Chain A
Amino acid sequence: MTAAGNGEAVVCRGLRKSYGPVVAVDGLDLRVAAGECFGLLGPNGAGKTTTVEVLEGLLHPDDGEIRILGMRWDRDERALRHAIGIQLQDTRLPEKLTVAETIRLFRSFYAEGPSVDEVVARVQLDEKRDVWVRRLSGGQRQRLAVACALVGAPRILFLDEPTTGLDPQSRRSLWELIEAFRAGGGTVVMTTHYMDEAARLCDRLAIIDHGRVIAEGAPLDLVATLGADQVVEFTVGSGPTPSESELAALPGVSGVRRNGDGWALTARGVHRTVPALLGRLERDGAELSRLATHDATLEDLFVHLTGRSLRDA
């Protein structure tokens, strides 16, 4: 129980895990402070789920050291099970139990925690309290899954892609749920492949690719490492396109990459970049079919780091 004192909720050093010849996690280090919301961001297959499942004590690592709240899975499993709450990817809860029955079942495993009605209220399923699980929408099921993770009043909440496949409104209601848990001082460790989700919820992120952390820090700081705050995307409809090196030489541009059938320029100070770009194209007699600028995001960072986008990686 020292962890609460020194503020470290999760410490993970040199984590390795392979499935046969496939290396899922390849020497991963993480530290999550108590009260923090920590995100593992990465494309599908990056090793996020394997990593959290090792942290959750559901998988044995091939190598590495794990401390959760200062405890170890091999020595303190029961205490740890009581101290953490887990939502797994695609758990099919019993279809013919009601919401309240499901929560009561999970609640019965824990020594202490909120009442069933409190949990039902917290996940806003009051109206569905006595409805069978199979009649719930995807978003409601997911809130129920989180409810089952909250029944033991956990100190750490592990969420594995909590909003994947949900509609925007359901996603926002889950985000609020997570923020409410945080507001009560809880620690959250979550995986996601949505950068908007990571940017909104997480204090700190580890961007993971091929089982390694390729960047780590606060979302704003991570985006700042791009050395640019804007992205200019354009597609030439007709006429010659400037070469990559010519684009890189435009004022304020710090990075150039192909973006579908056009280009994306990361830039600081688009007020200088865009006029220069337009002037250049006009001189060449080229005509734009598309031009857009947006604030640089984690997605841009991921593309910058890996050359691939989060979604199609």
Chain B
Amino acid sequence: MREGPGSGAARPAGREGEGVRTAPSAAGRPPTGRGPTRWPGSLAQLTLTRMREFVREPEAVFWTFVFPIVLALLLGFAFSERGDPTVRVAVLDAAGADAVVRILADAPGLQVEVLDAAAAAAALRRGRVALVVAPRAGGVAYRQDPSGPGAREARLLVDDALQRGAGRTDPLAARVEPVEEQGSRYIDFLIPGLIGLNLLSTGLWGVGYTVVRMRAGMLLKRLMATPMRRWEFMASFLLGRLVFLAIEIAAILLFARLVFDVRVHGSVALVGLLGVLGAFVFTSFGLLVASRARTTEGIAGIMNLVAVPMWLLSGVFFSYERFPEWTHGAIRALPLTPLVDALRAVINEGATALETAPAIGALGAWGLLAFGSALLLFRWR
């Protein structure tokens, strides 16, 4: 489709007016030049944009609000079995096996089965049984991986039952008085961990993917072509998160209260403050990991690299006290550790602001460091 030169002549001849337009303001603002208008600030508009993008993304809402509750429900029930858990053991199918099985079958907390040598070895290897009893002339041998889960408990239970069955009498009278105290159950341990985990995930993934998508779509470059202040863009992610943070934490705590009777023993405001700090830290981490990445595949790798160590080490699902002593310093240096520790102390033990001050300080420092680095390293193209 070509147009001849004639079409050029139809152009408005704007040159003549040039001499008339002497006032620079008139020339400067061609279409409907208007005085300054009051507008909601750009930070507010950017924050509104973040919030709109979030609530208009049903999947993001699910992962932020529903997922932690589902996780709490599953883990809460999985680890709150009533009564003593049973320990599974096997008896090797050999001479004397019947006598051993008879004794163990009556012992509390044990589930016994008879297996041949190959099946017993396989069951042990797969962790289906914690111990294999091999009858021997004048006694028994215990086969097990001494470092496996529940290995020692199985050995003590089996040995105790067999020794008593063989006629041992206990000189000391002893009995167990069960204690079920609030704040000491696994679910009490878990809930603050899940709050911390959620702050980590929503901060990293929510911010990281959004930023990388904006970069890939040249939207960051377009924003850089406006007078937008860069720190306002960054801060909008933080502010946008804060609004939903309250709902997010409240939902988990309310659920835990209603279903598992988990109570907040300390100040709710302090829980809120820790939540804000956590969001600050991990939103900034999200910006930092997204500061250079160009593809979602690329950033997924970086985010896993950052998040997985904290998931595993920072005491979300189980205490990091189980790791060797020498690792504790490094684990406490991870930002999720002081957050989860402090949330746990406030929720379960009623710790005060003063007692959590070191954690608050550490989180503030992490947040400032990450936010500052993100601002410096951020690539807009």
22 pairs from A and B in contact (CB 8 Å cutoff): A1-B24, A57-B225, A81-B227, A88-B222, A88-B225, A94-B49, A101-B48, A101-B49, A107-B39, A112-B36, A115-B37, A150-B31, A152-B227, A153-B31, A155-B27, A180-B31, A182-B12, A182-B30, A184-B30, A203-B11, A218-B8, A295-B6
A180 to B11 CA separation, bound complex (whole angstroms): 11
Add 17 more A-B contacts to A106-B226, A108-B41, A182-B30 (CB < 8 A).
Answer: A4-B24, A5-B24, A81-B226, A82-B227, A83-B28, A86-B226, A88-B222, A91-B217, A91-B221, A108-B39, A111-B227, A114-B31, A153-B32, A185-B30, A219-B8, A220-B5, A295-B5
Residues on A with beta carbons closer than 8 Å to the beta carbon of B32 = 114, 118, 153, 184
Judge whether B42 is part of the interface by a CB distance below 8 angstroms.
yes
A200 touches B37 (CB 8 A): no
Residues on A with beta carbons closer than 8 Å to the beta carbon of B15 = 35
A211 to B57 CA separation, bound complex (whole angstroms): 44
Judge whether A22 is part of the interface by a CB distance below 8 angstroms.
no
A51 to B32 CA separation, bound complex (whole angstroms): 30
Judge whether B56 is part of the interface by a CB distance below 8 angstroms.
yes
Judge whether B33 is part of the interface by a CB distance below 8 angstroms.
yes
B45 touches A199 (CB 8 A): no
A267 to B239 CA separation, bound complex (whole angstroms): 67
Q: How far is the CB of B242 from chain A (nearest CB, A)?
A: 19
B34 touches A114 (CB 8 A): yes
A176 to B41 CA separation, bound complex (whole angstroms): 32
Within 8 A of B (CB), among A201-215: 201, 203
A97 touches B53 (CB 8 A): yes
Judge whether B26 is part of the interface by a CB distance below 8 angstroms.
yes
A93 touches B40 (CB 8 A): no
B12 touches A183 (CB 8 A): yes
A239 to B1 CA separation, bound complex (whole angstroms): 31
Residues on B with beta carbons closer than 8 Å to the beta carbon of A196 = 1-3, 7
Among A82, A105, A185, A297, chain B packs the most CB atoms within 10 A around the CB of: A185
Within 8 A of B (CB), among A17-73: 34-35, 56-58
Residues on B with beta carbons closer than 8 Å to the beta carbon of A260 = none
Q: What's the count of A-B pairs with C-beta under 8 Å?
A: 169
Judge whether A181 is part of the interface by a CB distance below 8 angstroms.
yes
Contact of B45 among A7, A82, A105 (CB under 8 A): A105
A93 to B36 CA separation, bound complex (whole angstroms): 26
Judge whether A282 is part of the interface by a CB distance below 8 angstroms.
no
Within 8 A of B (CB), among A233-276: none
A35 touches B3 (CB 8 A): no
Within 8 A of A (CB), among B318-339: none
Q: How far is the CB of A177 from chain B (nearest CB, A)?
A: 10
Judge whether A78 is part of the interface by a CB distance below 8 angstroms.
yes
A112 touches B35 (CB 8 A): yes
Contact of A183 among B14, B28, B221, B222 (CB under 8 A): B14
Residues on A with beta carbons closer than 8 Å to the beta carbon of B57 = 96
Judge whether A223 is part of the interface by a CB distance below 8 angstroms.
yes
Q: How far is the CB of B79 from chain A (nearest CB, A)?
A: 39
Judge whether A75 is part of the interface by a CB distance below 8 angstroms.
no
B40 touches A108 (CB 8 A): yes
A69 to B36 CA separation, bound complex (whole angstroms): 21
Residues on B with beta carbons closer than 8 Å to the beta carbon of A105 = 45-46, 48-49
Residues on A with beta carbons closer than 8 Å to the beta carbon of B26 = 185
Given contacts A96-B56, A182-B12, contact A219 B31 (CB under 8 A): no
**Residue of chain B at shortest CB distance from A196:** B3
Q: Using C-beta atoms within 8 Å of the partner chain, give the interface range for chain B.
A: 35 or more
Judge whether A162 is part of the interface by a CB distance below 8 angstroms.
no
Among A7, A86, A94, A295, chain B packs the most CB atoms within 10 A around the CB of: A94
A113 to B33 CA separation, bound complex (whole angstroms): 7
**Residue of chain B at shortest CB distance from A199:** B8
A299 to B4 CA separation, bound complex (whole angstroms): 10
Residues on B with beta carbons closer than 8 Å to the beta carbon of A152 = 226-227
Residues on B with beta carbons closer than 8 Å to the beta carbon of A104 = 45
Judge whether A168 is part of the interface by a CB distance below 8 angstroms.
yes
A96 touches B53 (CB 8 A): yes
Judge whether A126 is part of the interface by a CB distance below 8 angstroms.
no
A201 to B217 CA separation, bound complex (whole angstroms): 29
Judge whether A195 is part of the interface by a CB distance below 8 angstroms.
yes
Given contacts A91-B219, A179-B12, A186-B30, contact A297 B4 (CB under 8 A): yes
Q: How far is the CB of A4 from chain B (nearest CB, A)?
A: 4
Judge whether A296 is part of the interface by a CB distance below 8 angstroms.
yes
**Residue of chain B at shortest CB distance from A105:** B45
Q: How far is the CB of B358 from chain A (nearest CB, A)?
A: 40
Residues on A with beta carbons closer than 8 Å to the beta carbon of B312 = none
B8 touches A220 (CB 8 A): yes
Judge whether B117 is part of the interface by a CB distance below 8 angstroms.
no
A200 touches B7 (CB 8 A): yes
**Residue of chain A at shortest CB distance from B56:** A96
Judge whether B52 is part of the interface by a CB distance below 8 angstroms.
yes
**Residue of chain A at shortest CB distance from B36:** A112
A229 to B36 CA separation, bound complex (whole angstroms): 51
Residues on A with beta carbons closer than 8 Å to the beta carbon of B9 = 220
A86 to B225 CA separation, bound complex (whole angstroms): 7
**Residue of chain B at shortest CB distance from A153:** B29
Given contacts A90-B218, A91-B221, A295-B5, contact A186 B31 (CB under 8 A): yes
